[in-house]
């Protein structure tokens, strides 16, 4: 009975490895091609002919075309590099290493920018909270010249 489960795991692993690249590419292309689907949350967009949202659909179509073109271009470039340098494992290794380092560098930059934003936000919030906690009435004097906060 356990051999049957083992065989299902092995056959499932092979089908997963075989279909994963296809699913990843097809789902990415589908998502990029549906980026201009702004039918949700845009009540009255089609009814508004001359308003500020008149060119929104055309703008999203241009954005979609640029994103899909970039996706295909980078896939073609990387696929061509790997096919050309297939026999040269050292070059293939260094191309992969450079791409990995570039991706890591970009992620580190994003993390640093995000942390700076969070620190800035926390500092601004702390400064506002400190200013709100200080009572401005402590320095106001009574018309008689006495401080009303003195007991």
How high is the pLDDT of residue 109?
A: 92
Work out how many domains the chain is built from and give that number. Answer: 1
How high is the pLDDT of residue 44?
A: 56
Measured CA to CA, the distance from residue 83 to residue 75 in angstroms comes to 12
Where residue 44 falls (left for φ over 0; alpha for ψ -120 to 50; beta otherwise) is left
Measured CA to CA, the distance from residue 9 to residue 11 in angstroms comes to 6
19, part of any domain: no
76, part of any domain: no
Name the residue range of residue 102's domain: 88-133
pTM equals 0.40
81, part of any domain: no
Measured CA to CA, the distance from residue 18 to residue 28 in angstroms comes to 17
Over residues 135-142, the mean pLDDT reads: 57
Measured CA to CA, the distance from residue 105 to residue 96 in angstroms comes to 14
For residue 93, count other CB atoms closer than 10 A to its CB: 11
């Amino acid at each position: 009975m356990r051999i049957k489960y083992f065989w299902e795991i092995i056959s499932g692993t092979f089908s997963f490895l075989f279909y994963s690249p296809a699913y990843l590419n097809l789902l990415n292309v589908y998502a990029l091609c549906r980026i201009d689907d702004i039918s949700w949350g845009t009540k009255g967009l089609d009814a508004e002919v001359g308003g500020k949202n008149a060119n929104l659909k055309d703008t999203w179509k241009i954005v979609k075309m640029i994103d899909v073109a970039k996706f295909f271009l980078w896939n073609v470039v990387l696929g061509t590099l790997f096919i050309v340098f297939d026999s040269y494992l050292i070059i293939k290794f260094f191309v992969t290493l450079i791409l990995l380092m570039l991706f890591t560098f970009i992620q580190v930059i994003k993390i640093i920018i995000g942390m700076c934003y969070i620190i800035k936000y926390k500092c601004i919030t702390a400064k506002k909270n400190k200013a709100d906690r200080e009572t401005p009435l402590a320095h106001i004097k009574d018309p008689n010249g006495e401080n009303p906060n003195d007991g």
